[in-house]
Structure 1
Amino acid sequence: MSFLHDRPDAPDGRPNYERAFDWQPGIYAGWQTLSAAVRASLPPRLYELATLAAAVELRSSYCALAHSRQLIGLGMDGDAILAALRREGLSPLEAAAMDYASAIARDAASVEPEAVERLRDAGADEATVSALAATASLRCFFAKYLDAVGARPDPDYADLPPALTSALVLGRPIAAG
C-alpha cells in the first residue's frame, strides 16, 4: 500500500489513498473539506479535466487513473480521454484549463498572464480562473503526498482500458491484486 505501516485498527477494503492518511486523519479531513469546496466551484467535467492535466504533469499514476475513471463516469470513453490529453476534442475553455493546470503543476511561478488571458478569452470569469488555480494547486499537494508515502493505485484501476492505463501509469505502478 505505502511505505507507512498500516494502523492496526484500520478497516480493510478502503482505497490506498485513504489508508495513506491513517497517521494524519486531521490532514485528511481538511483535504476532504477543501477538495469538496474546490470541486463545487467548477462544472464537473472541467474540474476533472484540469485535475487530470495536473496529475499527468506531476506523473501521479494514482490521480491520473482516478480522475480518468471520473471522466468515464461523466460519459467520456478511453479514446476521448486520450484525445483530451492531446487537447483534442475539447472546447477552447477545456483546452485552456488543462494547459493552465499543467503549467501550475509544472512550475506555478512561471505561469504568465497570457495563460489567464487565454482562459478569459475562452469564457472564464475570475471565479473560474481562481477555481482552476485551486484545483491544480490542491492536486499538487495530494499527488505529492501519496507519492511521498509510496501509495500505489488500487488494483481495480487495472480494469480501465489498456491504452488508458498505459498512458497514465507515469509514476508508481498499479498495486497487485
Structure 2
Amino acid sequence: MGDLWFEAKKCTEDFAIAVRDSDTLFQIFRICRSPKGDVYWNLLAQPDFKAHYSYHASGHSFLKTLGRRMFPTKERQPPTAKFKGTEMLLTSAIRAGDGRAINRPCEISQFTDIMEIPEYVLAAEPFGYQFSVELAEPGADSFYSTWPHAEIIQERRFEGQVPHIVCTLYKAHPEPVNK
C-alpha cells in the first residue's frame, strides 16, 4: 500500500502516527525525512488530495493539497545541525474513530519508529484533541509543553537526526492549565 509520492523519496527517517483500536493499528499520519533534510508530513485522511506539509532543507515550508500550495511559502531556518529553538509544522484535529475511518492498517516494519495512540485515549474527549508536529533542537521544549493553555495527553520526540521531530497530542483549554 503505497503512500502517494513517498516511494519516490528514499526516506532516511520514516515515522508513522497510528491509533491502536482493539487489535488493529491504524496509520493516520506519516512523517518522512529525506536524505536532503526535507521533512514531509503526509495527512492520510483523504489520499486523493495528496495533502502534505513540507519543510525543505532550504527553510521553505508550505502546505500543499490537490497539487496546489494552500498558503504562501514561509521562510524559516534550515533544518540543519545548527537549528535553534522550535518550528511548528502544522496542527491537525484528531478524534476517536479517525483510525477506522481512514482504515489504513499500519505495517510497523515499514517505519523507523511509530507513535501509537490508544483509541481509548481519544474516546475520552468527545470533541477530539489537537495533534501537532514541530522541529526542535535537542533539549528544547516543544511549544505546547510550555503553552499554559495546553494539556499534554501524549508527546513523542523522534531523536534520530537534528532537528528532532516532536509530535504532541494535546487538548487546548480556554483558561491556563496547572502544569
TM, length-normalised to structure 2 = 0.27
Name which structure has the greater RCO, CA cutoff 8 Å, separation 6+: 1
The answer to which structure has the higher helix fraction is: 1
As a proportion of its length, which structure holds more strand? 2
State the TM-score, normalizing by the size of structure 1. Answer: 0.27
